[in-house]
Chain A
Amino acid sequence: MTETKTSENRPSETHTGVIGRPIDRIDGPLKVTGGATYAYENALEGAAYGYILGAAVAKGRIAEIDTAEAERAPAVLLVMTHRNAPAQPDFGPAVTPTVPEVFTRARPALNSERVRYYDEPVALVVAETFEAARAAAGFIKVRYDEEPGLYDLPGHMADAYAPKRTNAGFETDSMIGDFESAFAAAPVKIDATYRTPFEHHNPMEPHATLAAWSGNELTIHTSAQTLANFRAGIASTLRIPPERVRIVSPFIGGGFGSKLIAHSDTILAALAAQVLQRPVKIALTRQQMFANAGHRAEMIQQVRFGADADGRLTGIAHDVWSAASSFEEYCEQTAVFARSLYVAPNRVTRHRLVPLDINRGEWMRSPGEAPGMLAFECAMDELADRLGLDPIELRIRNEPAQDPERGVPFSTRNLVACMKEGARRFGWERRNPTPGRTREGRKLIGYGMAAAIRPNYIGAATAQVAVDRDARVTARLDMTDIGTGSYTILTQIAADSLGLPISSIKVELGDSRFPRTAGSGGSWGAASAGSALHNACNALKQRILKAAQSSEASPLHGASATEASFANSEVRIGQRSAGLADLIRRIAPDGFEAEGSVAAGATTESYKAYSQHSYGAHFAEVAVDCDTGEIRMRRMLAVMGAGRILNAKTARSQIIGGMTWGIGAALMEQTVLDRRYGHFVNHDLAEYHVPINGDVPEMEVVFLEEHDDKANPLGAKGLGELGVCGAGAAVANAVYNATGVRVREFPITLDKVLPALPVIAI
């Protein structure tokens, strides 16, 4: 059930238009009928198929690679190794000088005999069929000079270092006041160390590319979240100007942050297509995705709270040690949200990396908050428990009046309202504050809650919009729809702005020939691309109005426009109106075109003047089998304050998807890195568990009415990742409430609660 609640504190313009309506996904019918063509499904005359062979060791060098038998195998066209791959730039230093270069740097493949991580590509076989390529890959013999590697985060904490910045360019550390003294003096203390495992995103559609050259122009059909980054990354790897690379990615079967940079499928397809002078297709296998398409790194987090007897925080410390790659730095901003969440005079957050011989971590849905809030919001629950205070009351007592570290006001912050509304709806008062005491039959029942916070990012974006003589509108942007609903909300924004029906709007995405956006990532897609399109529509309307007033042929000629509007397919100026199609036919038979843009959030005055986040509160009820320790969800509720909701249905889908990720992170997701060999042991979806339908309970999502006029012209804020933030902690806190067992090592599998469960008489 989705509801929009009108809250008292919300003076807001009325939106009678189509924005916010829960319309179905525009691309839905195409997807369910197979009409949406994904990268690997594109058929091109003469396309050949590549198969990647990965390294059998995690560190060392290739001493010998014998490809003769593979080359002789039937239908094989090319076997590429570091010995014959086209020259590429070196990978370069582990840290790029600026944040954007992380996304655009060259990412060479097969250009060295060094093996940097397990399953790193060591050869590519291209053949007439996929099967022939895969069979031939099995004939390649590789001898490695293996070197001992480091794979053990807890074992190598002594190697930890402070990176220059975290992901997204945040300060590595923050320090206000004197935490250590405040902590030492605090009457109530929590000092809890939490561990979160490696995790993988593994979208349904694997990383896949079809590359085709035409002369010196390269077209890449791939599955990418941000086209401009892919384009730049490929261009620098191939050492050609970006203008000669076209990226096409209209449909994406999930990304979750794993498709923000080009991976080996893309680079190798482009190289092989160049060598063979024919189109080449490559997809990573599901197993290969684990080592080659990013992960969330293993982390150790120490959270310390000092509080007075009333639960007012005197000190907050969040220290994070994260596994990292030795060759490319990536520091998830795990403690950054803690700088904005609760008030306390003394505070410290720190990020440290432990370099290991593994591939780099990547952006995995809700980077920072996803692992960070698991630790931090569970530690808050520990504090509430220690104080004998209700967890919501504890949070209310520590609600800041302004951003506690930046010292600027919040643009909007409805955290307390979300918690209160959630408590009311969830029946929070039924929670037994004493853990392990509520039993139904042989199930222990528990309630848990946690706060949600996620920064609002805006990326620079431009949109182009054109209207033709039939008042049909085409909007073009290089934005992507990774399954989130971009096509749909952009259609709604244009329809709303231009006063036209949904059916008159065609949104075209996923082509690097279209104006550049920030793509989909960091929950910024809707707000960034949407604001650009909103501005483009405004520019288009200005153009139409101007022509309508000035053109002799216009039925609105000479109308003096103090008040003009576009609604019901009509243009109205003052008392006079005309049908939009009729008007355009008379004054501009070729139609009109316009562009609109937004600047990157971090550069805007409003971003500097306000702390901008989306907020929410998660609630969870679990049942724990007292005989086996099996933990199953019973219900979940999220109450969100995330700015203006552009489409109630797609927004809800994003939130329930995020809540499902919360269940996964709390209870089952974990990739095991073998600390002897450096490989991910459970590298398929039979052994890497994500929640299946049976694990997902009834979920309720409520959006508080909000309009954040500081955030952007739409008043919307990012929410694609908000559903994850804190959701896992609510589940974990419910497990504690049910069992009295505080598991600080995620995921909370049954073996971790079992020893503490009482044997209940039969």
Chain B
Amino acid sequence: MQSFTYERAASAEQAAAAVAARPDAKFISGGTNLLDLMKLDIERPAHLVDISRLPLDRIEETAEGGLRVGAQVRNSDLAADPRVRSRYPMLTQALLAGASGQIRNKASTSGNLLQRTRCPYFYDRNMPCNKREPGSGCAALQGFNRMHAVLGASKACIAVHPSDMAVAMAGLDARIETISPGGETRTIPIGDFHQLPEAMPHVETVLGHGEMIAAVTLPPPPAGRQVYRKVRDRASYAFALVSVAAIVEKSGDRIRSARIAMGGVAAKPWRATEAERTLAGAAASDGAFTDAAEAALAGAVGHGGNDFKIPLAKRTMRHTLAAAVESA
């Protein structure tokens, strides 16, 4: 870990300006991801701007009937909020399926979206890794890649985004609000926020340097039942092998609409639009769920150690859709 200077931001604008002013500066929220990476010399900021105490920790109703979640709302608080629990239950389920109680108490909404991959080669400075050191190669491609991506990966990087929360948010069509050093704001649909690796896996989002997440807006809850299902190697405190967030709206015996996002399969929360299309208007049947799962994974490619994720994701999607319909 290299030495760094530290300041506590007084306002959102000032925080953005402070980071923008130095190429080697970074925001720090809960620090549960950044500090670990700094200790291992994987992140090496020379200056930290602490935004954890900014008054961005409120959850407010929006005019359109949704919720605006401040960037500094803790994962635990977001999960426990009664409005979230009743209107966005799959977001609560996803949050509670992530990390541990202690980490969720510290982790912020923005930090969760921006947490970095858990690829073990990314975590070891002696290993080639294009994400850590562009151009050095990808040790995971031919290595231990049990946890890695089956969708949207490239030859340069096959890492996954580890967040559970973001998967539920992707299914809910959340929008990310940012503030830039000059005070300008913009709103980015979550689907456009994270980037696929292609040739530049070190670029993970569309955020500019110094651009700060201020809030995440959840549109009004969509019709239909919500279910988040995380599949993992132990009962708790493990990253997703595969996860599925599903919202299914029924009309009689038919599915009117479905929204599906997957975790553990790609460098971003993966919206399964083909599956959604297959389901729209279909009879709510095992066959339709199976077809949807096939459609969702149609372009999937395994890398040896993670081949099992393809059938696993299909099976998980099939029974998660069934669960969403059953409870509907």
Instruction: Identify the A interface with B (CB < 8 A).
Output: 56-57, 74, 131, 134-135, 138, 287, 442, 627-630, 632, 667-668, 672, 674, 676-677, 679, 681-684, 686-687, 689, 691-695, 749-751, 754-755, 759, 761-762
Chain B neighbourhood of A287, CB < 8 A: 40
B308 touches A762 (CB 8 A): no
**With contacts A131-B1, A134-B1 known, is A691 near B144, CB below 8 A?**
no
A627 touches B237 (CB 8 A): no
State in angstroms the CA–CA spacing of A394 and B235 once bound together: 34
Q: Which of A632, A668, A751, A755 has most B Cβ within 10 Å?
A: A751
B121 touches A692 (CB 8 A): no
B312 touches A751 (CB 8 A): yes
**With contacts A135-B2, A682-B144, A755-B311 known, is A694 near B235, CB below 8 A?**
yes
A691 touches B315 (CB 8 A): no
**With contacts A131-B1, A627-B316 known, is A754 near B311, CB below 8 A?**
yes
State in angstroms the CA–CA spacing of A328 and B248 once bound together: 60
Beyond A668-B234, A684-B123, A694-B236, 20 additional pairs, beta carbon < 8 A? A56-B125, A134-B1, A134-B39, A138-B1, A287-B40, A442-B319, A628-B315, A629-B312, A630-B231, A630-B232, A674-B143, A676-B143, A679-B124, A683-B124, A687-B120, A691-B234, A750-B241, A755-B308, A759-B315, A762-B286
A694 touches B234 (CB 8 A): yes
* Secondary structure type dominating chain A contacts: loop
State in angstroms the CA–CA spacing of A684 and B234 once bound together: 16
State in angstroms the CA–CA spacing of A695 and B127 once bound together: 32
Chain B neighbourhood of A668, CB < 8 A: 233-234
> How many residue pairs, one in A and one in B, have C-beta atoms under 8 Å apart?
96
A686 touches B118 (CB 8 A): yes
A754 touches B236 (CB 8 A): no
State in angstroms the CA–CA spacing of A689 and B236 once bound together: 10
A138 touches B318 (CB 8 A): no
B308 touches A751 (CB 8 A): yes
State in angstroms the CA–CA spacing of A684 and B119 once bound together: 12
Closest B residue to A676 by beta carbon equals B143
A679 touches B126 (CB 8 A): yes
State in angstroms the CA–CA spacing of A632 and B231 once bound together: 12
Closest B residue to A747 by beta carbon equals B233
State in angstroms the CA–CA spacing of A287 and B120 once bound together: 12
State in angstroms the CA–CA spacing of A628 and B124 once bound together: 31
State in angstroms the CA–CA spacing of A759 and B231 once bound together: 17
14 contacts between A and B (CB under 8 A): A56-B126, A134-B39, A287-B40, A627-B316, A676-B143, A692-B234, A692-B237, A694-B235, A694-B237, A751-B146, A751-B308, A754-B312, A759-B315, A762-B322
Closest B residue to A130 by beta carbon equals B1
The yes or no answer to B238 lying at the interface (CB within 8 A) is yes
State in angstroms the CA–CA spacing of A695 and B237 once bound together: 10
State in angstroms the CA–CA spacing of A444 and B15 once bound together: 54
State in angstroms the CA–CA spacing of A755 and B308 once bound together: 8
State in angstroms the CA–CA spacing of A630 and B232 once bound together: 7
The yes or no answer to B5 lying at the interface (CB within 8 A) is no
Instruction: Identify the B interface with A (CB < 8 A).
Output: 1-3, 39-41, 118, 120-121, 123-127, 139, 142-144, 146, 231-239, 241, 286, 289, 308, 311-312, 315-316, 318-319, 322
State in angstroms the CA–CA spacing of A56 and B120 once bound together: 15
A762 touches B289 (CB 8 A): yes
State in angstroms the CA–CA spacing of A666 and B146 once bound together: 18
- B227 to chain A minimum Cβ distance, whole angstroms, is 13
State in angstroms the CA–CA spacing of A689 and B41 once bound together: 24
State in angstroms the CA–CA spacing of A74 and B235 once bound together: 45
Contact of A754 among B40, B144, B238, B308 (CB under 8 A): B308
Q: Which 8 A-B pairs have the closest CB atoms?
A: A694-B235, A751-B308, A56-B126, A627-B319, A694-B236, A762-B322, A762-B286, A681-B144
Closest A residue to B319 by beta carbon equals A627
State in angstroms the CA–CA spacing of A627 and B241 once bound together: 14
A632 touches B235 (CB 8 A): yes
Contact of B315 among A627, A683, A694 (CB under 8 A): A627
State in angstroms the CA–CA spacing of A762 and B127 once bound together: 45
State in angstroms the CA–CA spacing of A683 and B126 once bound together: 13
Closest B residue to A132 by beta carbon equals B3
Chain B neighbourhood of A692, CB < 8 A: 234-237
State in angstroms the CA–CA spacing of A761 and B290 once bound together: 11
A762 touches B319 (CB 8 A): yes
Chain A neighbourhood of B236, CB < 8 A: 692-695
Chain B neighbourhood of A632, CB < 8 A: 235
Contact of B312 among A442, A628, A686, A761 (CB under 8 A): A628
Q: Which of A74, A138, A627, A677 has most B Cβ within 10 Å?
A: A627
**With contacts A759-B315, A762-B322 known, is A681 near B120, CB below 8 A?**
yes
B231 touches A687 (CB 8 A): no
Chain B neighbourhood of A750, CB < 8 A: 231, 233, 241, 308, 312
- B317 to chain A minimum Cβ distance, whole angstroms, is 10
Closest A residue to B124 by beta carbon equals A679
**With contacts A134-B1, A689-B233 known, is A681 near B319, CB below 8 A?**
no
Closest A residue to B232 by beta carbon equals A630
Chain B neighbourhood of A131, CB < 8 A: 1, 3
State in angstroms the CA–CA spacing of A356 and B306 once bound together: 27
B233 touches A749 (CB 8 A): yes
- A698 to chain B minimum Cβ distance, whole angstroms, is 14
- A659 to chain B minimum Cβ distance, whole angstroms, is 16
Closest B residue to A139 by beta carbon equals B2
A138 touches B41 (CB 8 A): yes
Closest A residue to B317 by beta carbon equals A627
Q: Which of B118, B139, B233 has most A Cβ within 10 Å?
A: B233
State in angstroms the CA–CA spacing of A689 and B235 once bound together: 11
State in angstroms the CA–CA spacing of A759 and B124 once bound together: 39
Closest B residue to A686 by beta carbon equals B118
Chain B neighbourhood of A754, CB < 8 A: 308, 311-312, 315
B142 touches A676 (CB 8 A): yes
Chain B neighbourhood of A694, CB < 8 A: 234-237
Chain A neighbourhood of B2, CB < 8 A: 135, 138
Contact of B3 among A57, A135, A759 (CB under 8 A): A135
Chain A neighbourhood of B118, CB < 8 A: 686-687
Closest A residue to B323 by beta carbon equals A762
A681 touches B143 (CB 8 A): yes
Contact of B231 among A628, A681, A755, A762 (CB under 8 A): A628
State in angstroms the CA–CA spacing of A56 and B318 once bound together: 45
Closest A residue to B306 by beta carbon equals A751
- B5 to chain A minimum Cβ distance, whole angstroms, is 14
State in angstroms the CA–CA spacing of A674 and B119 once bound together: 14
